[in-house]
Structure 1
Amino acid sequence: MRNDSASMWQIADESVRRLQQAGSVEVIKKADAGTPDAPGLTDAPGVVQNLRLSTTLRGEPLELLQSQVYLGMEDVKDPSKRVVIELVLTAKPSQLGQVIEDFKEFIRTVRPADESPA
């Protein structure tokens, strides 16, 4: 839940700063993502950013690729309330091709819950 006016781009930047605490981070790509046809989604409706992470594991260098998707959903009854959903896939470069399509398919399934009568 966010109660500030940070854009999805600013929230994605926050993630880069957090990750830099563990090692080197390179932003490979950052762009608006999705379409506004899902009710409740805001900010275009989201941002995708792809990162290259360089860190160490047990003293050995490790390179990882990360795809992050940020979606904003506002309360249809109270637009001042907003939730930011962060979806992340992290993989070794050699593994990315095996999992990226499943990740994209998963992202396409994310929607606000339908209101059902109580």
Structure 2
Amino acid sequence: MAAGLPVPIEFRLPEGWRTADPDDIGAPGVAFVALHPHPDDGFAANITIDGDFMPATRTLLELAEESEQRLRGASETLAVLTRRETGSPRAPGLSQRLEFTAVAGGARRKLAQTQVYLGVVDATDPAKRAHIRLTLTSTAAQHDVVLDDFQQFVSTVAPDTAPKS
């Protein structure tokens, strides 16, 4: 079952990317999925969004390390190529790039994943914190080709402050 996000956000997809139902493509637990229009060797690059509330004692670095460990358990090989903290204490961020080998779509593939974690403080209750994770997964060969689209997408992500009717 597709999950919701702890805080509302808005964003724009890069041209050509199309939305997909998370449940239909085997991505339960994420709130949003978009697929690249040109698969590489039968694998469609995808952007996913998920997130949750997080206790004040948790850090984005801990979340990234946990994500790495989950992925390590589901893959044959895994390497963390980069990991970088960004932002400020009020609006922290973290990005990491991972490469791994796993069975996907019935074939053994070398995949790459860029994850961006955004820390969000609730505007009405600053004691409440959440994180949003934006993830690009593609074949390793296609990653640099779709990375610009992902970076463009990330730059459009913002809190959705439109009044609810």
* TM-score, length-scaled by structure 1: 0.82
1:92 corresponds to 2:136? no
The offset of 1:103, in angstroms, is 0.3
Amino-acid identity (%):
32
Output aligned runs, 1:22-61, within 5 Å.
Answer: 22-23=74-75, 24-33=77-86, 35-36=87-88, 42=91, 45-57=92-104, 58=106, 60-61=107-108
Structure with bigger helix share is 1
The offset of 1:99, in angstroms, is 1.0
1:63 corresponds to 2:110? yes
Matched residue pairs, number? 111
1:10 corresponds to 2:84? no
Please, what is the CA RMSD of the aligned residues? 2.2
1:117 and 1:93 map into 2 onto residues whose CA distance is 41
Name the aligned partner's letter for residue 66 of structure 2: E
- Structure 1 match to 2:16: none
1:73-113 deviations in whole A, cap 9, x for unaligned? 01122122111100000111221132111100010011112
1:116 and 1:55 map into 2 onto residues whose CA distance is 43
> Contact 2:111/2:140 (CA < 8 Å) preserved in 1?
yes
> Contact 1:65/1:93 (CA < 8 Å) preserved in 2?
yes
Residue ranges of structure 1 left out of the alignment (5+ in a row): none
SS state of the match for residue 20, structure 1?
A: helix
> Contact 2:99/2:140 (CA < 8 Å) preserved in 1?
no
Residue ranges of structure 2 left out of the alignment (5+ in a row): 1-52
- Structure 1 match to 2:123: 76
1:17 and 1:4 map into 2 onto residues whose CA distance is 22
Name the aligned partner's letter for residue 59 of structure 2: S
RCO greater where, 1 or 2, for CA within 8 Å and sep 6 or more?
2
The offset of 1:69, in angstroms, is 0.3
The offset of 1:49, in angstroms, is 0.2
